[in-house]
Amino acid sequence: MTRSEQVAAVRAFTRFYTRQVELLSESLLGSGFTLAEARVLYELAHRPGVTATDLARELGLDPGYLSRILKGFAGRDLIQRETAQGDARRSALRLTAAGREAFAPLDAASARQVGALLDLLPPAEADRLVGAMGTVRELLGEQAAEPVTLRGFGAGDLGWIAHRQGLLYATEYGWDASFEALVAEIMAAFVKTHDPARERAWIAERGGVVLGSVFAVRDTDEVAKLRLLYVEPSARGLGLGRRLVETCIAFAREAGYRTLTLWTNDILASARRIYETVGFELVSAERHRSFGQDLTGQYWKLTL
């Protein structure tokens, strides 16, 4: 897709979404507030004590325009000003009782409107829509400050991880669909024979968007395998790969294993650097033909 086609597609989506949520109406959801006024009310309702300077910067509003909005709110007794904590030169903003009363029906109407949109979709499609919105936020930087959390393996993860790893390794290294099939087989076996006391999976998420995963799988009573480590391109450079590996190591120790092993390929340089820095030792290497490529496989182990 050319840049002009990309621009046209984004503009078309913006027009579509604007119509869906009625953002062109002079009064948002019949509240008497414009979209900008409603956005300011929302921030004040959820962030009592925020300053006008912070609001203007974070909402991307012209300070003069925001000042006029706040002046109008003050004239209607919707907000109050007080000295900001730690800086007597700045004013902190809070909603008054009247402000909270004005915001409540707007907030409820917005929730009903979004709920009505989601009700048009089957649950799985609603989840897909929310996930796509999370991707948009992530790619445009809105979620950069949100923490990355690790959760357990759940419904939908098997297909998603096989899909993402298959796609990423095909794009980055030219591997064919046999790799995606291998990933799916490994996870299917994990689900079928899972021993929660001795095996575990961790899914990294930020804002509901999956950013990576790793698995600890039993090999013998004394040996566990680290498998299927991956990190999405958008989350690389954050230390997430090492965090996943260290979490896997800690679990293996707690579960009573004496050794943690893994198999990888030498072209996966970033992963190999992580393994080296946390103490894995290279045991052996061998040439092989897999996934449509000539590769060098490596076996690593860590004494726990």
Which tens digits make up the pLDDT trace of 145-200?
Answer: 567 889 988 888 888 899 999 988 998 899 999 999 999 999 899 888 888 889 99
Which tens digits make up the pLDDT trace of 107-154?
Answer: 888 788 788 888 888 877 887 787 777 777 767 765 555 678 899 888
Q: Which residues contact 237 (CB under 8 A, 6 or more apart)?
A: none
Count of Cβ atoms closer than 10 Å to residue 141 Cβ:
8
Report pLDDT for 172. Answer: 87
Which tens digits make up the pLDDT trace of 87-104?
Answer: 556 778 888 999 889 888
- Distances in whole angstroms, Cα of residue 141 to Cα of each of 48, 127, 144, 211: 24, 21, 5, 14
Which residues of the chain does CATH 3.40.630.30 include?
Answer: 149-303
Which residues of the chain does CATH 1.10.10.10 include?
Answer: 3-120
Structural contact between residues 249 and 288, judged by C-beta atoms closer than 8 angstroms: no
CA–CA–CA angle 272, 275, 281 (5° rounding) = 100
Q: Phi then psi for 208, rounded to 5 degrees?
A: 80, 0
Q: How far apart are CA 125 and CA 28, in angstroms?
A: 27
Percent of the chain predicted with pLDDT > 90: 36
Report pLDDT for 200. Answer: 93
Residues 1-28, mean pLDDT to the nearest whole number:
69
Report pLDDT for 120. Answer: 84
Res. 30 pLDDT band, cuts 50 70 90: low
Q: Which residues contact 219 (CB under 8 A, 6 or more apart)?
A: 225, 261
Task: State whether residue 89 is helix, strand or coil.
Answer: strand
How high does pLDDT run on average in the chain? 84
Q: How far apart are CA 23 and CA 156, in angstroms?
A: 34
Handedness of CA 275, 211, 207, 1 (dihedral sign): positive
* Nearest CA-CA partner of 42 in 59, 25, 60, 67: 59
Q: How far apart are CA 65 and CA 182, in angstroms?
A: 57
Residues 216-240, mean pLDDT to the nearest whole number:
89
pLDDT greater at residue 135 or residue 106: 106
Output the DSSP codes for 174-230: ---HHHHHHHHHHHHHHHHT--TTT-EEEEEEETTEEEEEEEEEESSSSEEEEEEEE
Report pLDDT for 281. Answer: 94
Half-sphere exposure of 3 (CA within 13 A, CB side): 0
Report pLDDT for 24. Answer: 45
Q: Which amino acid is at 62?
A: D
Q: Which residues of 237-266 are buried (b: 16+ CB within 10 A; e: fewer)?
A: ebebbebbbebbbebbeebebeebbbebbe
Q: Which residues contact 33 (CB under 8 A, 6 or more apart)?
A: 27, 41, 102, 106
Residues 39-47, mean pLDDT to the nearest whole number:
84
- The CATH fold assigned to 3-120 is Arc Repressor Mutant, subunit A (1.10.10)
Res. 21 pLDDT band, cuts 50 70 90: low
Half-sphere exposure of 111 (CA within 13 A, CB side): 7
pLDDT greater at residue 262 or residue 4: 262
- The CATH fold assigned to 149-303 is Aminopeptidase (3.40.630)
